[in-house]
Structure 1
């Protein structure tokens, strides 16, 4: 698990971390440290009592480093990086060139879930903070809609037929439903998010036609 102590970040590598390059691993550790610091501070002082400077200080980074990853203190609290939906849309386009639209959508969503913190305690802290601060829900919802809209637009371009947009909307909504379920499975059973995502996807593809 990731811990912050006197500005030092100590991270137990998960199985997925073993496949990351050193530079990307350090970036992930830094993001996790800032995300944790932001959540801890809001939990202690409330949203209005937290500044970017305080988050950076507790995480042991500079404010410049903070803004390399996050656009606002709220984005660090929620875990929304500066890339947003546009980068996800571009990743979807690139993946589709190699894998086709269907598999590309799954690949992009799996990569997104793999970048989330693996620390269950951190995810539980986020849930606690979100429950205390309703403003964060509106920000999170707005970001989610933006990402979904971008993915639908890109997928519509990639699919054939007059019903391409309708199919794209359905595919993206199913993808996010799978992702939400994977988070739930990961939390309840204590398994890694990627493993939970693969399990839920296999279940959806398999012979369990609940819907």
Structure 2
């Protein structure tokens, strides 16, 4: 990731964290876009370069989705050629270092608290989650060469997203915990699924 992209990512995260902190402190209805921008030390105009509304600042990248190059690499059979390993790589591609892992966990914890207080946000969350699940199903179908409407990619994508969600809940984010630990837990969870739903011997 180049310097410009890192700066954009940092600004986006600063706006998200400012919104979360202010919403938890005052409530969704009592915070303005201008206050969020000021807390993140940017202009209101900059805010709207990243988010369409204050609600979007909380839910805009939730859940995280793989970017286009990562999806295309997976669809073409990479990076390793092993389906489960490549799926894990794609699902965790947004976590590039341990700092991202820790900050992601912090934001998820804050979002959970906020959605418990502001249940109207749940609809937006589940809508975004469903969109990402459909994107994962589409790229799985492309990799397998399945025809449109085939059920198999949708079932696998739904299971994969459930595994990802449950795995992120299990992480402790202790000092020294690495991205490799996330991938190991995902690998274990997929193995659990295989053992539970594999062919009866």
Using structure 2 for the length normalisation, give the TM-score.
0.74
- Spell out, residue by residue over 1:104-141, the C-alpha distance to the aligned partner (whole angstroms, 9 max, x if none): 54332111355966234443222211110001111110
Are 1:110 and 2:103 an aligned pair?
Answer: no
Aligned counterpart, 1:165? 150
Aligned counterpart, 2:72? 93
Aligned residues: 188
Preserved CA contact (<8 Å) 1:130 1:137? yes
1:145-156 alignment to 2 at 5 Å?
Answer: 145-156=130-141
Aligned counterpart, 1:45? 26
| Structure 2 gap ranges (5+) | none
| Structure 1 gap ranges (5+) | 1-19
Equivalent residue of 2:16, what SS? helix
Are 1:125 and 2:110 an aligned pair?
Answer: yes
Larger RCO (alpha carbons 8 Å, 6+ apart) = 2
The Cα RMSD (Å) is 3.3
- Spell out, residue by residue over 1:162-192, the C-alpha distance to the aligned partner (whole angstroms, 9 max, x if none): 6983221122122212211221122x35365
Are 1:194 and 2:179 an aligned pair?
Answer: yes
**Residues 90 and 155 of structure 1, relative CA distance in 2, 3 Å threshold:** farther
Are 1:36 and 2:14 an aligned pair?
Answer: no
Offset, 1:79: 4.4
Preserved CA contact (<8 Å) 1:39 1:129? yes
Equivalent residue of 1:134, what SS? coil
Are 1:174 and 2:159 an aligned pair?
Answer: yes
How far apart in 1 are the matches of 2:73 and 2:173? Answer: 33
How far apart in 2 are the matches of 1:166 and 1:88? Answer: 24
Aligned counterpart, 1:63? 44
Task: Judge which range, 42-51 or 20-29, deviates more.
Answer: 20-29
Give structure 1 regions of 4+ aligned residues with deviation exceeding 6 angstroms: none
Preserved CA contact (<8 Å) 1:183 1:193? no
Using structure 1 for the length normalisation, give the TM-score.
0.71
How far apart in 2 are the matches of 1:163 and 1:152? Answer: 11
